Amino acid sequence: MHLHLSTWAEVEQFLQRSRVIVVPIGSNEQHGPTGLLGTDWLCPEIIAREAEKRAEILVAPTFNIGMAQHHLAFAGTISLRPSTFIAAISDWVRSLAGHGFEKILFLNGHGGNVASIEAAFSEIYAESSFAARRAGVALKLCNWWDLEGVGELARDLFPTGHGAHATPSEIAITQWAFPDAIKLADYAPLIAPSGPIREALDFRARYPDGRIGSNPGLATPEKGRALVELAAQSLVRELEAFGSETQPD
Amino acid sequence: MHLHLSTWAEVEQFLQRSRVIVVPIGSNEQHGPTGLLGTDWLCPEIIAREAEKRAEILVAPTFNIGMAQHHLAFAGTISLRPSTFIAAISDWVRSLAGHGFEKILFLNGHGGNVASIEAAFSEIYAESSFAARRAGVALKLCNWWDLEGVGELARDLFPTGHGAHATPSEIAITQWAFPDAIKLADYAPLIAPSGPIREALDFRARYPDGRIGSNPGLATPEKGRALVELAAQSLVRELEAFGSETQPD
Amino acid sequence: MHLHLSTWAEVEQFLQRSRVIVVPIGSNEQHGPTGLLGTDWLCPEIIAREAEKRAEILVAPTFNIGMAQHHLAFAGTISLRPSTFIAAISDWVRSLAGHGFEKILFLNGHGGNVASIEAAFSEIYAESSFAARRAGVALKLCNWWDLEGVGELARDLFPTGHGAHATPSEIAITQWAFPDAIKLADYAPLIAPSGPIREALDFRARYPDGRIGSNPGLATPEKGRALVELAAQSLVRELEAFGSETQPD
Amino acid sequence: MHLHLSTWAEVEQFLQRSRVIVVPIGSNEQHGPTGLLGTDWLCPEIIAREAEKRAEILVAPTFNIGMAQHHLAFAGTISLRPSTFIAAISDWVRSLAGHGFEKILFLNGHGGNVASIEAAFSEIYAESSFAARRAGVALKLCNWWDLEGVGELARDLFPTGHGAHATPSEIAITQWAFPDAIKLADYAPLIAPSGPIREALDFRARYPDGRIGSNPGLATPEKGRALVELAAQSLVRELEAFGSETQPD
Amino acid sequence: MHLHLSTWAEVEQFLQRSRVIVVPIGSNEQHGPTGLLGTDWLCPEIIAREAEKRAEILVAPTFNIGMAQHHLAFAGTISLRPSTFIAAISDWVRSLAGHGFEKILFLNGHGGNVASIEAAFSEIYAESSFAARRAGVALKLCNWWDLEGVGELARDLFPTGHGAHATPSEIAITQWAFPDAIKLADYAPLIAPSGPIREALDFRARYPDGRIGSNPGLATPEKGRALVELAAQSLVRELEAFGSETQPD
Amino acid sequence: MHLHLSTWAEVEQFLQRSRVIVVPIGSNEQHGPTGLLGTDWLCPEIIAREAEKRAEILVAPTFNIGMAQHHLAFAGTISLRPSTFIAAISDWVRSLAGHGFEKILFLNGHGGNVASIEAAFSEIYAESSFAARRAGVALKLCNWWDLEGVGELARDLFPTGHGAHATPSEIAITQWAFPDAIKLADYAPLIAPSGPIREALDFRARYPDGRIGSNPGLATPEKGRALVELAAQSLVRELEAFGSETQPD
């Protein structure tokens, strides 16, 4: 069940059965010479969509712009500041918790989002903690590449050249989902350099074509399919486990 | 050309040809007994996608959560506070303007967004105005129902019962785009009441099923197709006119 | 009854009789070669003062600085950023609502304020909506030129050259109220140009003497008197209607 | 010269002669059984207006709502939070500094404003200090009762019962300026208690009729006239001294 | 008892006996040619530590960075903006009040902090005042040099050359506490100039070596000891008086 | 060299030799039945102090309050909201970068700080990235337990019962540094439970005595000494490596 294709009455009924919702969250940012700008929000959206075909879960609209300040020197990147990101996540959570959702899982597609999402969770919880009341909602961050088995599969598929940004895993997933948007390029060097992440101009100087440590040329749509299927199955289990978790008194 | 399906290098090339981008923007909120929660962000996304087939325009990812505080008493609605909305729009604009976009048209699908979007524009411009420098970017808000000819067509299609929220126009557009998600209900009364908009509980007390002044039962996918086609054509012309507008010295 | 000329005990007594208050709100900004910088806050203040002579209404102090970022390239303009404006309106409303005022009508004198005032209302209501409680206060924005009959009178008085900024209507009202501060100038062109509003330097380049579409030379104190009298009568009726409006359960 | 009764062109000319402006700033808050709610913004406005008759100074519109959280338990009080107040003062200063004003004197009428105004000055200066650039504008806070000679006169006029809030000085000034709004009451006790200032309910419990340490019954319009005349003369000298102050290299 | 050297259980027990806590608060900023950068947070920390040896009081960790924007042109100064400072103080207070502390005394070591600390108190109280509820906590600002008898002693010890920044009083206190960190310099002029405080570059131009009106060469460790002992005794009495103060109904 | 025990002139000289500074950063929060509330800011302070004895490094004052919302149900915990924490870190960094520091290493003592510190770094960098300019400063977060060799030593010393909060490692360090403040208790169970971290009441329900997964009874001052010595040596090397890192063009 997709929230945006449902009516309010249908959601009200869903809440009789379950208090769990998954929010795909990512970023719109450069992904090297061949990666789509939407890669990081498309991957969790694709995985959530496949999971929705397999089980009765509720998928929220995709939170498609995240924290990508370090990619801003490459055209097409759109970033929120962490403070804006935190405020927006808070509003999403307050909206959903107000309807009675008690477990909100953010399925994340961008490593650069992790710190700000966790900071947002703490900002939300802090409101309850300062007031000495229960939050009434449990928040969980889950990167799609950390879903059960997915990391192992990625290492099997790409024993070298996986890297940290514009990885063959994420490129493969979007190739499978958008076969008409597969791009080709010569990568030089084949495996991109690695190093620290700072502000945008520093980033572009270190990583001239945008990749970090990766060889996206290893991606194929078929490998993408395998990753998505496994991730979707693991996501369903993750949501079940999260949903059945009880709060201590 | 869709930003999220392009690479940074393709966007860099696009910027050699044009400095214009369109951002579909809407809201995820209740739309009466049969309207989809995503209606207000789906409509501008659908229209922009159709326009993209007709002309070489660049479409940004959809800004899918807007200012919908008054709908929060209906399950599934997600809202930003105006202050968060303004901050987020500012970050989008600063990101895009940083890449060299000089004309950003927000194609809006939600009346409740208008004030906050315009306030956001002023917030962005104010930074330049206080510093006595040019903004370097022109911002335009365009509601899809205000695109040339669209209002007339809507009045022709729905001479009565169009109303202000959960209108047959927007329902028809989503019916055309998502025929599998067409919902049916008995509307009582046939045409919903009208009145002021305040906070969420007041809203639900005034408009028990979520509609304002509308009879969504008049919507058909075919009417939706007609609205989308006209709107897409008008959007292309709107973008051309905006793009060819020159700044005074 | 003017709030600033009353004691707290008198206001406490007023609240036994009525829960309605009117707040004149405007802007301090350039108004062309002859218009007073205070025009936009003086007009609603003048109208409210005349209304107060005719009926038992309570008039708050004037909110005299608004959102005028686009006028900052002209000396004497003072502007709040929208975010500051929203915060300040929120504090005014929270103060007044805390005393028991249930209907707050902002009588506005500046078109550029509209979006930010409405965004402020939504920011205030959102606090209640997220918490699923009633706001306890109803907020209404009313531009003085939209008061019943005023637009028609303005069109009668100024069939051409009314324009959108530094209009003969507002100039006339201040001429009537401040006859010692009437200024004269040659207008070239007689009717100023029209166009979009962006940041301050863009504005000054488009509208070199500050006017938009208007010929303030048409203003006379006598026309101002007619506008004020009509507006004052309409304001009294507007407040009565607002005050007798009931909240739905 | 009053800013709000001038045109932008007149202000532009004034700036050729002087870079100094005075902003009356106060608060709208309870002033005991007989004091006007507007007392604290009316006093500096009245004094500035009298000064303007005596010398060529430029008077800005009155900043009429300040930091009065402790008075909120008395009807009619309107308060900004300090954070809002700081933001608003910053916007006023940035607007005026942008026009070329180099010396901005805030003539204050409310003791409770002092900390927030000084914090606002530091917030404004900090922007320059962090960026290692000159601010280009000097800010000065001057309470009207601290103007040269005024404190001595107040002590002469009211050797006992002056107190700290709803003082006979400020009541006298408004009596002189608004003789039609003079209110009478029996004060019990004659001189109100003194003590600390905390939140609003604590304040009302300590100071049941709103006064702190004062006997406003001592006020007369004639004493008000004397205070205003002296204060106006001192303000003119204060502005001259401030204007002739040079910045170190 | 020092909070940072206690366990939560010990603090819980302390709260059975007392609801009072003292927070040393200062600034890390230049203090002339010989003053330590930590002077303003070390002084209240030293005094509180000595007081803790004399009586059963609870001392919080030191709030060591304050509002020092005007000192930023001298290396080593660290400053918060007033808005940040207010937010941080609010969080400290909300944390402590949440545990049941009802009296929080900020023992301050930096004059430049005063306005922002008082603004912070008002910001905290305002939350209660707008909501018409008691704050439940009383906040008090006490500069160490205003503790009973301390000003007199400082005037006795330093009849001339005390000044306003990098005073011999504060230098003497740190000399006594950190005898290994005593620095020497020739002061030229012997007594530094005085004047207004604005942004950092203006400050450095006026006060080239950082001092204002002082001759720190008069400081000795022995004088520091005398000041600390007296201040510590007075602080104990101040806390007792504050703790025994009752709230009005 | 300690910043707070230096003069501005000494810091200016230091900047001729090095552009690196280390900021100990932690939290003041419950650490189980026997851990000191200051544990998380004392540990990095202790390690930095030892490192300072071994090499010419510059140590900033300790940032002693961090993000500890989840511990607020235990008396004595003081927490900043993430948004406040981010603002404060930004001000520290802007202050230090303004003096010419190019490498700022935050030596962290609290796992709960990590997300907010990294979000703060991104917030700071974003300012440069949006403006397309170099930041001029490189920021590094280093948890003391991640310093080279420290994790291995901790695992050797505490093969079981190390856990995640109130660990024997951190308890041991404070035991060594504050032998007079060693506390004893019976731990039941010997090894505390583990699980997720949410808001404060949820935390206390899950972890009744405050520990997570740890047995602090294993700590001894001697083990603390070994950890501090190794960490101090590694910190010196970490600072050398960070200082010699060059920025790409």
pLDDT tens per residue, range F26-47: 999 999 999 999 999 999 999 9
A123-182 residues touching C, CB cutoff 8 A: none
What does the alpha-carbon distance between residue A30 and residue A40 come to, in Å, rounded to a whole number? 10
D66: left (phi over 0), alpha (psi -120 to 50) or beta: beta
Ordered DSSP codes for chain E: -BGGGS-HHHHHHHHHH--EEEEEE--B--BTTTB-TTHHHHHHHHHHHHHHHHS---BPPPB-----GGGTTSTT-B---HHHHHHHHHHHHHHHHHHT--EEEEEE--GGGHHHHHHHHHHHHHHHHHTT---S-EEEEEEGGGSTTHHHHHHHH-SSS--SBS-HHHHHHHHHH-GGG------SSSS-------SHHHHHHHSTTS-BS--GGG--HHHHHHHHHHHHHHHHHHHHHHHH-----
Q: From the CA of C247, how many Å to the nearest CA of chain B?
A: 7
Whole-number pLDDT of residue D43? 98
Tokens of F91: 């001000």
Cβ neighbour number for residue B229 with a 10 Å cutoff: 16
Compute CA distances F54 → F57, F58, F176, F231, F232, whole Å: 9, 12, 18, 12, 8
On whether the CB atoms of residues D99 and D3 are closer than 8 A, the answer is no
Ordered DSSP codes for C56-106: ---BPPPB-----GGGTTSTT-B---HHHHHHHHHHHHHHHHHHT--EEEE
- pLDDT classification of D112: cutoffs 50, 70, 90: very high
Q: Are residues B94 and F132, on separate chains, in Cβ contact within 8 Å?
A: no
Q: From the CA of F99, how many Å to the nearest CA of chain D?
A: 10
Q: For testing the chain E interface, which of D199, D203, D212, D244 should be mutated: the one with the most E CBs within 10 Å?
A: D199
Establish whether this prediction's ipTM goes over 0.95: yes
| Segment B147-195, tens digit of pLDDT | 999 999 999 999 999 999 999 999 999 999 999 999 999 999 999 999 9
Cβ contacts (< 8 Å) between F128 and chain A: which residues?
Answer: 199-201
> Which of E111, E105, E10, E131 is closest to E51 using CA atoms?
E105
Q: What is the mean pLDDT of residues D184-210?
A: 96
Which H helix or E strand runs over A227? helix A221-244
- pLDDT classification of A125: cutoffs 50, 70, 90: very high
Sign (positive/negative) of CA torsion C219, C225, C227, C232? positive
Q: What is the mean pLDDT of residues D138-144?
A: 98
**Cis before residue F159, ω within 30 degrees of 0?**
no
Cβ contacts (< 8 Å) between D120 and chain E: which residues?
Answer: 82
Q: For testing the chain B interface, which of D84, D89, D92, D94 should be mutated: the one with the most B CBs within 10 Å?
A: D94
Give the percent of chain B with pLDDT over 70: 100
- C-alpha count within 13 angstroms, C-beta hemisphere, residue E197: 20
The beta-carbon neighbor of D86 closest among E79, E83, E114 is E83
Q: From the CA of A7, how many Å to the nearest CA of chain E?
A: 36
- Say if F and A touch: at least 3 Cβ pairs within 8 Å: yes
Q: Considering only alpha carbons, which residue of chain E is nearest residue A133?
A: E98
The beta-carbon neighbor of D91 closest among C15, C32, C84 is C84
Q: Considering only alpha carbons, which residue of chain B is nearest residue F132?
A: B98
Backbone φ and ψ for A49, nearest 5 degrees, come out as -65, -40
Cβ contacts (< 8 Å) between B120 and chain C: which residues?
Answer: 82
- Say if D and A touch: at least 3 Cβ pairs within 8 Å: no
Give the percent of chain B with pLDDT over 90: 98
The beta-carbon neighbor of C77 closest among D62, D77, D95 is D95
**Cis before residue F208, ω within 30 degrees of 0?**
no
Q: From the CA of D116, how many Å to the nearest CA of chain F?
A: 19
> What value does the mean pLDDT of chain D take?
97
Question: Can you tell me which residue has the tokens 């009178």?
Answer: C153
Q: What is the mean pLDDT of residues F205-212?
A: 97
C87-116 residues touching D, CB cutoff 8 A: 87-88, 90-92, 95-96, 98-100
pLDDT of B247 strictly over 90? no
Chains in contact with E, where contact means 3 or more Cβ–Cβ distances below 8 Å, are A, C, D, F
Compute CA distances E86 → B16, E81, E124, F51, F88, whole Å: 47, 9, 9, 34, 11
| Segment F79-131, tens digit of pLDDT | 999 999 999 999 999 999 999 999 999 999 999 999 999 999 999 999 999 99
DSSP conformational letter for F85: H
On whether the CB atoms of residues D107 and D62 are closer than 8 A, the answer is no
Whole-number pLDDT of residue B6? 98
Size of interface B-F (CB pairs under 8 A): 4
| Segment C186-236, tens digit of pLDDT | 999 999 999 999 999 999 999 999 999 999 999 999 999 999 999 999 999
Q: From the CA of A171, how many Å to the nearest CA of chain B?
A: 12
On whether the CB atoms of residues B86 and C119 are closer than 8 A, the answer is yes
What does the alpha-carbon distance between residue C128 and residue B157 come to, in Å, rounded to a whole number? 38
The beta-carbon neighbor of E115 closest among D81, D115, D130 is D115
Cβ contacts (< 8 Å) between D94 and chain B: which residues?
Answer: 130
Chains in contact with B, where contact means 3 or more Cβ–Cβ distances below 8 Å, are A, C, D, F
Q: Which residues partner with F23 through β-bridges?
A: F106
B37-96 residues touching F, CB cutoff 8 A: 94-95
Q: Are residues F83 and A81, on separate chains, in Cβ contact within 8 Å?
A: no
CA A240 to chain centre: 19
In sequence order, the 6+-apart residues with CB closer than 8 A to the CB of B66 are B25, B26, B27, B28, B40, B41, B79, B80, B85, B110, B112, B113, B116
pLDDT of D58 strictly over 90? yes
| Segment B72-111, tens digit of pLDDT | 999 999 999 999 999 999 999 999 999 999 999 999 999 9
Cβ neighbour number for residue B115 with a 10 Å cutoff: 23
Size of interface A-B (CB pairs under 8 A): 168
Q: What is the mean pLDDT of residues C59-79?
A: 98
What does the alpha-carbon distance between residue A125 and residue A122 come to, in Å, rounded to a whole number? 5
What is the rounded (10 degree) CA torsion for F120, F125, F130, F136?
150
Cβ neighbour number for residue D188 with a 10 Å cutoff: 9
> Which of C49, C198, A39 is closest to B137 using CA atoms?
C198
Compute CA distances A208 → B9, C196, D49, whole Å: 12, 40, 64
Q: How many residues does chain F have?
A: 249
> Which of E43, E1, E40 is closest to E22 using CA atoms?
E1
pLDDT of B248 strictly over 90? no
Compute CA distances A142 → A73, A145, A234, C179, F88, whole Å: 28, 8, 11, 69, 29
What does the alpha-carbon distance between residue F198 and residue F207 come to, in Å, rounded to a whole number? 11
Q: What is the mean pLDDT of residues E41-65?
A: 98
Cβ contacts (< 8 Å) between E7 and chain F: which residues?
Answer: 30-37, 76, 183
Q: What is the mean pLDDT of residues D54-65?
A: 98
Whole-number pLDDT of residue B206? 97
Q: From the CA of F94, how many Å to the nearest CA of chain D?
A: 7
Whole-number pLDDT of residue F247? 83
> What value does the mean pLDDT of chain A take?
97
Q: What is the mean pLDDT of residues D187-212?
A: 97
Sign (positive/negative) of CA torsion C190, C193, C198, C199? negative
Whole-number pLDDT of residue A88? 98
On whether the CB atoms of residues F199 and A128 are closer than 8 A, the answer is yes
What does the alpha-carbon distance between residue F18 and residue F56 come to, in Å, rounded to a whole number? 10
The beta-carbon neighbor of E69 closest among D126, D134, D202 is D126
> Which of E226, E174, E235, E137 is closest to E38 using CA atoms?
E174
Q: For testing the chain D interface, which of E91, E125, E128 should be mutated: the one with the most D CBs within 10 Å?
A: E125
What does the alpha-carbon distance between residue D126 and residue D123 come to, in Å, rounded to a whole number? 5
The beta-carbon neighbor of F38 closest among E35, E61, E84 is E61
Tokens of B106: 């927000």
Q: What is the mean pLDDT of residues D60-67?
A: 98
Q: Considering only alpha carbons, which residue of chain F is nearest residue E181?
A: F5
> What value does the mean pLDDT of chain F take?
97
What does the alpha-carbon distance between residue B226 and residue B229 come to, in Å, rounded to a whole number? 5
Tokens of B116: 């906050």
Q: Does domain D6-244 have CATH number 3.40.50.10310?
A: yes
In sequence order, the 6+-apart residues with CB closer than 8 A to the CB of B107 are B22, B23, B24, B25, B44, B47, B48, B142, B144, B235
Q: For testing the chain C interface, which of A90, A92, A94 should be mutated: the one with the most C CBs within 10 Å?
A: A94
Q: From the CA of C178, how many Å to the nearest CA of chain B?
A: 30
Q: What is the mean pLDDT of residues C1-8?
A: 98
Please count the helices (runs of H) and the strands (runs of E) in chain F.
8, 3
> Which of A163, A159, A141 is closest to A31 using CA atoms?
A163
The beta-carbon neighbor of F129 closest among A72, A125, A205 is A72
On whether the CB atoms of residues F194 and F163 are closer than 8 A, the answer is yes
Cβ contacts (< 8 Å) between F128 and chain D: which residues?
Answer: none
Q: What is the mean pLDDT of residues A25-39?
A: 98
The domain limits of chain B are 6-244
Q: Are residues D81 and E200, on separate chains, in Cβ contact within 8 Å?
A: no
Compute CA distances A48 → A24, A105, B27, B177, whole Å: 7, 11, 21, 21
On whether the CB atoms of residues A212 and A164 are closer than 8 A, the answer is yes
Cβ neighbour number for residue E111 with a 10 Å cutoff: 17
Q: Considering only alpha carbons, which residue of chain F is nearest residue E34?
A: F7
On whether the CB atoms of residues E76 and E30 are closer than 8 A, the answer is yes
Q: For testing the chain B interface, which of A12, A58, A86, A95 should be mutated: the one with the most B CBs within 10 Å?
A: A95
Q: Are residues A36 and B7, on separate chains, in Cβ contact within 8 Å?
A: yes
The beta-carbon neighbor of C75 closest among D8, D87, D178 is D8
> What value does the mean pLDDT of chain B take?
97
Q: What is the mean pLDDT of residues D165-183?
A: 98
Looking at the complex, does the CB of residue A243 fall below 8 Å from at least one CB of chain B?
no
Tokens of E106: 């900020």
Q: What is the mean pLDDT of residues A217-244?
A: 98
